[in-house]
Amino acid sequence: MIALTFALLAAHAPGAQLTSQPAGSFAVEGEVSALGVAADGSLVVAAGRGGKLTLWNVQKRQAAPVPLSAGAAAVAVSTDRRGFYVGTTKGMVAAFSREGRLLWEVPAAQKGVRAIAASPDGSLVATGGRDGTVRLWTAKDGSPFRELGRHEREVVKVGFTAGGRRLLSCDDATIRSWQVYAAAPVSGPENTPSESFGPFHLFGAAASDDHFATVGQYRYVGKGGLGGTASATSFVEDDRIFVYHGGAPTPEHSIRPVMLTSDIRDVALTTDSRFLATATERGRTKQVGTAILWEIEREDPRLVIDLAAAGRAVALSADGRILAAGDSKGNVVVQRIAGMESDLADSAASTAVGAGSGDGCAPPQIQIQEPPTGRGGPIAVSARSLLVRGRAKDPCGRGIEGVWVNGERITSFEPAGADAYQFSAYVGLTAGEQQVVVRTISQAGAEAALNLKVQATLPTMPELKNATSNGARAVVVGISHYQESGINLNFADRDARSFAGLLVGQRTLGGFRKESVAVLLNERATRQDIAQGLQYLDKAGEAEVAILFFAGHGAPAPPEGQATGKLYLIPHDIRTADIPGTGLAMAEVQRLLQSVKARHLIVFVDACHSGGIGGEDLSLGSARRLEGAGAASAGNDINAEFLRRVAHSTPSRVVFASAEKNQVAYEPIELGAGVFTHFLELGLRGEADTNHDHLVTLGELLEYVRAAVRTYTKGVQVPAISPTSFDRELPLAIVE
């Protein structure tokens, strides 16, 4: 049988000449049920039918188990080196770092997740459930993005196409196409080729940027067996691969297995859609199998790799240079493929695509102002992140529904003339060439996308350590002792002093010299002192970082009077009988911070006001809130007011508040600090270095503190992160 395979392979016309070299092998428990390969080919993720997961480091040729809360049913690897995603038999979808550390886990389907896929820009995760649901999730934190719809049967595969603007989902008989950002079904491939009497069974599919491949067993009019005599009453059932281009309803290519006794169990595509790989089981007993690489345009096999048992799963890196195949006995083989000449490289720095609305409206217009895109070739960047700034306009005059950068909806989004909007967002980068995708949808439903090609070089650790600046500024406020001693706190001043020490220590980055950090404690934190301190932040350079840290009381005005409902920071010299006259109004804080020119403004707020004392967990210590007038209003929350006023004042701002609305910020005696600041400092000292790259980034710090405070307080206090545009990859501290 093997001789026949190679004979058929040799008989085809010359095309791509591919060869393979072993890159390792490993085993999983039970037959291999799912495989994923990182875009750069450095990592293989394998799930066994027993539900256990294994990581394979291609360079080191090392396997490592990954603990799961339930059995793995589907896997997908992110395209941006963020990690990988797993759908489980209990209906959960989970995200893991490349090292196998759990990042988040959320319920996704009632009867189990059968299919999973990551968007091309790495921002979204799609799941298909055994209950027929098709859902989208935000890749960074697992928050729900959208439910697209349902199938009548369980979903066996999902895949992004059209540059991530569409999602294709299929059950064992039907294929559906969805608009990702408009949440609407659209026409797409049909699983009923004209020469067929319909699908007998569809069990595999794969998507690339502009193609979609399905694998199924189809029923055809027979030809009287191998002799070729036509028979109108007989049928032939065989496996076929259909490759669709774009949203075309009929296949562009039809590929039949090399041998009639082969059954195709899985399929994978390269990003440029030049090649596809199949895992097959062959022979009358289906006890052996092969992995076959096909050249799609020629509909020809180019490479055959024999497997020890029946083929079950196959996966490819983005360029096809790494292939992984798994069999029915749990064996996974990894091969390096030579001869792949990828079409991924493109000399243009940016490319644009668009689709009009159903009523004839033209696609929106996207203009990128930063980074510069006029030069030929990819945009060269030497940084861990990229600021994307631009303008979106609707030529039909109905307005813009939204703008997304790498799948994340922009919140720094302001009107800029008639039917035009200004936007900005930070995008995390990895070393090498990558794409940044800007999308917009008009109110009429028309879409446009602009792809920016970026060539990134990441700063080295010595470069980061040696980076100095005279422009960074910080104001650190901590008030434990008030003129009215009845409202004193225990550790707010100590928290502020400790945080300021971290900023000027050797661990932190950003150029904070001792003289660039203004520390305002207790009697030196009057209303006038704090206002002047906020003005000091305006001296931060335009390319620098400005930080405001506040630990103390926040409070609303009393319910009577014209100031009802307004919120105030409580300075040392507050008179609680006259909060509007002696407190620092949040409107004034907003006005002062709007003038800050620094590229990055980070606000840490360890202050909280909550409605009443009912339900307070006294085992956590005292709460940083001012009791009294106006306490019952759910909207009177100092953290929420910071999030609303300050974070949205200008782009590149983030507010990290110690608690959500209607929660209090605790300072337990056992910690000798506020819970929020305690974990903030631990994070800066290295605990937040979740990817172990010896750097603590802003994004890592925020996520670590939020999770740690939630766990310590058993969910009573959960820090709030403003939903704004900020640089998650901004390095804040070095971990020695």
Residue-wise pLDDT tens digits, 434-485: 888 888 888 777 788 888 888 888 887 777 766 655 668 899 999 999 999 8
Q: What's the pLDDT score for residue 735? A: 82
Q: Are 175 and 243 in contact (CB under 8 A)?
A: no
Tokens of 220: 């055809």
Q: Are 669 and 489 in contact (CB under 8 A)?
A: no
pLDDT at 135 over 90: yes
Which among 192, 186, 144, 147 is positioned nearest to 168, based on CA atoms? 186
Q: What percent of the chain has pLDDT over 90?
A: 24
Residue 553 or 256, more confident: 553
pLDDT at 157 over 80: yes
Mean pLDDT on 541-557: 83
Q: Are 316 and 37 in contact (CB under 8 A)?
A: yes
Neighbours of 309 (CB within 10 A): 18
d(CA 220, CA 235): 5
Neighbours of 582 (CB within 10 A): 17
Residue 350 or 567, more confident: 567
What stretch of H or E contains 645?
Answer: helix 638-645
Q: 473-478 and 517-521 as β-strands: parallel, antiparallel, unpaired?
A: parallel
Neighbours of 465 (CB within 10 A): 12
33-47, 165-179, 234-248, 669-683: the lowest-pLDDT one: 234-248
pLDDT at 123 over 50: yes
156-170, 243-257, 269-283, 433-447: the lowest-pLDDT one: 243-257
Ramachandran assignment for 61, one of left (phi > 0), alpha (psi -120 to 50 degrees), beta (any other): left
* Domain at 350-456: CATH code: 2.60.40.650
Query: How confident is the model over 579-610, as pLDDT tens digits?
Result: 889 988 877 887 888 788 888 889 898 886 32
The count of C-alpha atoms lying within 13 angstroms of the C-alpha of 716, restricted to the half-sphere facing its C-beta, is 18
Q: Are 132 and 150 in contact (CB under 8 A)?
A: yes
The CA–CA distances, whole Å, from 37 to 315, 316, 334, 548 equal 6, 6, 10, 43
Query: How confident is the model over 644-682, as pLDDT tens digits?
Result: 544 444 446 788 888 876 677 888 888 988 899 999 999
Query: How confident is the model over 10-36, as pLDDT tens digits?
Result: 444 455 578 889 999 999 988 999 999
Spell out where 208-286 has E strands. Answer: 211-221, 235-245, 253-255, 263-269, 275-282
Q: At CA 542, angle to CA 599 and CA 365, rounded to 5? A: 60
Global pTM value? 0.60
d(CA 707, CA 604): 16
Helices (H), 656-716: 675-682, 698-712
Residue 595 or 229, more confident: 595
d(CA 476, CA 516): 11
Q: What's the pLDDT score for residue 609? A: 36
What stretch of H or E contains 602?
Answer: strand 600-606
DSSP helix/strand/coil, 693: coil
Q: What's the pLDDT score for residue 400? A: 84
Which among 32, 22, 28, 2 is positioned nearest to 327, based on CA atoms? 32
d(CA 696, CA 698): 7
Which among 166, 217, 47, 58 is positioned nearest to 115, based on CA atoms? 47
Paired with 637 in beta bridges are none
According to DSSP, residue 479 is labeled -
Q: What's the pLDDT score for residue 13? A: 44
Paired with 76 in beta bridges are 85
Q: Which amino acid is at 236?
A: V
d(CA 139, CA 124): 5
Is 463-734 in the same CATH topology as 350-456?
Answer: no
pLDDT at 130 over 90: yes
Spell out where 84-234 has E strands. Answer: 84-88, 92-96, 102-107, 113-118, 124-129, 133-138, 144-150, 157-161, 166-170, 175-179, 184-186, 199-207, 211-221
- For the purposes of burial, counting CB atoms within 10 Å of the CB of 29, is it exposed (0-12), middle (13-18) or buried (19 or more)? middle
d(CA 259, CA 8): 9
Q: Can you state the percent helix, strand and coil of the chain, rounding each to 5?
A: 15, 40, 45
Domain 463-734: CATH class, spelled out:
alpha beta
Q: At CA 668, angle to CA 665 and CA 673, rounded to 5? A: 80
Which among 267, 347, 380, 351 is positioned nearest to 313, based on CA atoms? 267
Neighbours of 2 (CB within 10 A): 11
Q: What's the pLDDT score for residue 81? A: 67
Residue corresponding to tokens 């028979």: 231
304-318, 391-405, 570-584: the lowest-pLDDT one: 391-405
Q: What percent of the chain has pLDDT over 70?
A: 76
Work out the end-to-end distance of the chain between its first and last CA atoms, rounded to an integer number of angstroms. Answer: 58
Of the pLDDT bands very low, low, confident and very high (cuts 50, 70, 90), residue 376 is low
Residue 411 or 55, more confident: 55
Tokens of 314: 């196959």
pLDDT at 615 over 50: no
99-113, 267-281, 372-386, 646-660: the lowest-pLDDT one: 646-660
Radius of gyration of the chain (CA): 29
Of the pLDDT bands very low, low, confident and very high (cuts 50, 70, 90), residue 358 is low
Query: How confident is the model over 429-444, as pLDDT tens digits?
Result: 888 888 888 888 887 7
Q: What's the pLDDT score for residue 425? A: 84
Mean pLDDT on 333-343: 77
What stretch of H or E contains 311?
Answer: strand 311-316
Q: 473-478 and 545-551 as β-strands: parallel, antiparallel, unpaired?
A: parallel
DSSP helix/strand/coil, 358: coil
Q: What's the pLDDT score for residue 44? A: 95
d(CA 497, CA 506): 16
Neighbours of 18 (CB within 10 A): 18
Q: What's the pLDDT score for residue 202? A: 59
Q: What is the 3-state secondary structure (H, E, C) of 189-202?
A: CCCCCCCCCCEEEE
Of the pLDDT bands very low, low, confident and very high (cuts 50, 70, 90), residue 637 is low
Neighbours of 249 (CB within 10 A): 12
Ramachandran assignment for 617, one of left (phi > 0), alpha (psi -120 to 50 degrees), beta (any other): beta
Q: What's the pLDDT score for residue 1? A: 38
138-142, 269-273, 325-329, 676-680: the lowest-pLDDT one: 269-273
**Mean of pLDDT over the chain:** 78
Q: At CA 165, angle to CA 729 and CA 440, rounded to 5? A: 70
Q: Which amino acid is at 242?
A: F
- For the purposes of burial, counting CB atoms within 10 Å of the CB of 344, is it exposed (0-12), middle (13-18) or buried (19 or more)? middle
Q: What's the pLDDT score for residue 241? A: 80
* 22 cis-preceded (ω within 30 degrees of 0): no
pLDDT at 6 over 50: no
Q: What's the pLDDT score for residue 94? A: 94
According to DSSP, residue 293 is labeled E
Domain boundaries, the chain: 350-456, 463-734
Paired with 367 in beta bridges are 391
Which among 312, 431, 564 is positioned nearest to 42, based on CA atoms? 431
Those residues with Cβ within 8 angstroms of residue 553's Cβ, 6 or more apart along the chain or in another chain: 479, 482, 487, 489, 569, 570, 574, 607, 609, 624, 625, 626
Length of the chain: 736
Which among 636, 17, 610 is positioned nearest to 301, based on CA atoms? 17
d(CA 254, CA 704): 50
